[in-house]
A and B are shown apart, each in its own frame.
Chain A
Amino acid sequence: MDSYKKSRRKSIIAWIIAFVLAIGAAIVSFMPFVFMVLNSFKEKFEMLTKGVFQLPDKLNWSNYTEVLTGGFGNYFKNSVIVLAISLILLLFISACASYPLARFKFKMAQPIYAIIVACMSIPVHITLIPVFKMSKSTGLYDTIWSLIGPYIAFAVPISVFILTSFMKEIPREIEESAEIDGCGKIQMFFSMILPLSKPGMATLAIYNGVNMWNEFSFANTLTQSAQNRTLPLAIWEFQGQYSMNTPMIMAVLTLTLLPMVIMFIVFQDKLVKGMTAGAVKG
């Protein structure tokens, strides 16, 4: 009985320590956001004269209205166009490629799959100069269209990896019965495999969508003028404009974070699962 009490007391102490640490971690996670949102409502000099954690005098929306009327919408529009086109094409061609790799028997399947998957660890920077050159010679440089090719190409390996393993799980019998009914392989893909792969594609859409939405290296290299840039670069442009005006930058940051926060609130668990889809055992 005594030892039971002792271990019970030990367990309570352990939980208290764990809670203190957990709250500490939560504060560290959250504090920068408090800093960001709080200061985005301040006036230009209010932040310097008073402390950074002081509440603003009044809810001052002027930073937001200035950012929103200062071309923010255009960056947003560019990002949405690039994302929509890249994502639709990516999901379609990845599904096409995964289908034979998952369900056909032919000699080259294994080596082709291995090569595609090996592309996952290739750093973007080795392709940066040649892709830059290509965009110049095709005349796509400094347009949002130059981003679509590299975005899809770098998202293909992980997508094929995940979709192939997803399609392998679809039971054989479905295909066999369809084959007996005289259904060809191409027809089978569109009428059976593609619809059945929807959950896998949804995960991939989230994973790649978040990555493309935040992509920086190609966007910074392949576009130049403000009207052709995507959202991650908006911060850059605004910083050039308002470098000393910290509250304004905080308003820009808050606005760029907002779409993700809304997604997080609406799709919570789906989003969390999707964003860590890259963490499948490789």
Chain B
Amino acid sequence: MNEKGISLAQLRQRKTRQTAALFLAPVVILLVVFIAYPIIDTFITSGYQWNGISADKKMIGLANWAKLIKDTKFWTAFKNNVIIMVLSIVIQIPLGLAMATFLDFGGKKLTVFKVIWFIPMLMSSVAIGFLFTYALATNGGIVSTISGWFGGGNIDLLGNPKLALLTVILIIAWQFTPFYMVYFMAGYTNIPYDVFEAARIDGATRGQYFWKIALPLLVPSIKSAAILSMVGSLKYFDLIYVMTGGGPGTSTELMATYMYKESFKNFNMGYGSAIAGGMFILITMVSMITMKLINGKQED
């Protein structure tokens, strides 16, 4: 009786596993073909000197990696990625939080602000890149025109190596701040209305409510927003590739734009693979460290 019971349970277990395998198969195959295998293949290709087209593929061992470690252009690109990451968090998250707070305090009457603020999210990064290339043109761009109204001259933001990166960061902020606004608005709806009411009855001003009650309750949302922003910044590509292509000089070069140009413009697929591999390792490291730092204590 007992023995039969066990084997029946085992039979059920095996049946469950088979059904699970059947359901999981398409996703697993797809991830292996388009993500796992390519990652391995990138590391293999990084051991060759190869232009991506011809059969002439020369095994050069770790030479590409040795070159990468000494490549100042790559480290400048990484530094730019980190600058974008830090400034994105510093600019977008407080702004998004301020907007969400304003909308939460103001209620339904302020929906018009919500709609207008959200509009940049509707545009693709590529389209935004093109739009701002023209909107910030030295001659006949928005900033130059406004500077003209106040008697100033034309301003070249994207062509100036000192200002280009900052300009791009502000455009990224223009695009993504609405995302964090919506995100924090969702955070606010998770705070029960009673909490707000109780605080107000006890005589707290809105300012006190925000700093003493809402903000501490929003800390988890802020943490995950920071993680999202961080991972996104390190992978950044589209907008900068369209607007500056990494220039002028290397002032807006990112790991992804550098990798793309080396691989598909200069046809150094071997070295391009090494850059991609380096990028992968750095992103994995940075995100693991940051997630540990931010989430470390709550992990179960």
Chain A contact residues, CB within 8 Å of chain B: 7, 11, 14, 18, 21-22, 25-26, 28-33, 35-36, 47-48, 51-53, 93-94, 96-97, 99-101, 104-106, 108-109, 112, 116, 119, 121-134, 149-150, 152-154, 156-157, 160, 185-186, 189, 213-214, 216-217, 221, 232-233, 235-236, 239, 246, 249-250, 253, 256-257, 260-261, 264, 268, 272-273, 275-276, 278-279, 281-282
Residues of B contacting A149 in the complex (Cβ-Cβ under 8 angstroms)? 30, 33-34
Residues of A contacting B263 in the complex (Cβ-Cβ under 8 angstroms)? 128-129
- Tell me if A282 and B227 are in contact (CB < 8 A): yes
Q: A25-B117, A272-B118 are in contact. Are A125 and B279 (CB under 8 A)?
A: yes
Q: Interface-forming stretch among B62-70, B126-134, B156-164? A: B126-134
Q: A26-B117, A130-B41, A278-B228 are in contact. Are A235 and B127 (CB under 8 A)?
A: yes
Measured CB to CB, the nearest residue on chain A to B142 is: A35
Residues of B contacting A268 in the complex (Cβ-Cβ under 8 angstroms)? 115
Measured CB to CB, the nearest residue on chain B to A123 is: B235
Task: Answer yes or no: B91 CB below 8 A from chain A CBs.
Answer: no
Contact of B27 among A96, A104, A126, A253 (CB under 8 A): A96
Sample 22 A-B pairs with CB under 8 A, ordered by A number: A25-B117, A26-B113, A26-B117, A29-B120, A29-B178, A32-B174, A99-B23, A100-B23, A123-B256, A128-B259, A128-B260, A129-B42, A129-B273, A133-B41, A149-B30, A149-B33, A153-B31, A232-B126, A232-B127, A246-B137, A268-B115, A279-B228
Residues of B contacting A124 in the complex (Cβ-Cβ under 8 angstroms)? 235, 237
The answer for the CA separation of A213 and B137 in the assembled complex, in Å, is 27
Q: How far is the CB of A180 from chain B (nearest CB, A)?
A: 15
Additional pairs, 5, CB under 8 Å, beyond known A31-B142, A129-B273, A129-B276: A29-B117, A121-B283, A253-B127, A257-B127, A260-B123
User: Count of A-B contacts with CB under 8 A?
Assistant: 242
- Tell me if B276 and A125 are in contact (CB < 8 A): yes
- Tell me if A52 and B142 are in contact (CB < 8 A): yes
Q: Please, how many residues of chain B have a CB less than 8 angstroms from a CB on the other chain?
A: 91
- Tell me if A97 and B134 are in contact (CB < 8 A): no
Contact of B142 among A32, A101, A157, A214 (CB under 8 A): A32
* Of listed A52, A152, A250, A278, residue having the most chain B CB within 10 A: A52
The answer for the CA separation of A116 and B119 in the assembled complex, in Å, is 32
Residues of B contacting A221 in the complex (Cβ-Cβ under 8 angstroms)? 264
Instruction: Give chain B interface residues in 1-50, CB to chain A under 8 Å.
Output: 13, 16-17, 19-20, 22-24, 26-28, 30-31, 33-35, 37-39, 41-42, 45
Task: Answer yes or no: B191 CB below 8 A from chain A CBs.
Answer: no
Instruction: Give chain B interface residues in 114-148, CB to chain A under 8 Å.
Output: 115-127, 130-132, 134-135, 137, 139-142, 145
Residues of B contacting A250 in the complex (Cβ-Cβ under 8 angstroms)? 131, 134
Measured CB to CB, the nearest residue on chain B to A221 is: B264
Closest 9 CB pairs of A and B: A214-B124, A153-B34, A130-B38, A127-B38, A100-B20, A97-B27, A130-B41, A93-B26, A260-B122
Contact of A126 among B132, B221, B264, B280 (CB under 8 A): B280
Q: How far is the CB of A217 from chain B (nearest CB, A)?
A: 6
Task: Answer yes or no: B83 CB below 8 A from chain A CBs.
Answer: no
Q: How far is the CB of B263 from chain A (nearest CB, A)?
A: 6
Instruction: Give chain B interface residues in 174-227, CB to chain A under 8 Å.
Output: 174, 178-179, 182-183, 186, 205-207, 220-221, 224-225, 227
Measured CB to CB, the nearest residue on chain B to A120 is: B231
The answer for the CA separation of A127 and B139 in the assembled complex, in Å, is 40
Measured CB to CB, the nearest residue on chain A to B220 is: A281
Residues of A contacting B134 in the complex (Cβ-Cβ under 8 angstroms)? 35, 246, 249-250
The answer for the CA separation of A281 and B130 in the assembled complex, in Å, is 32
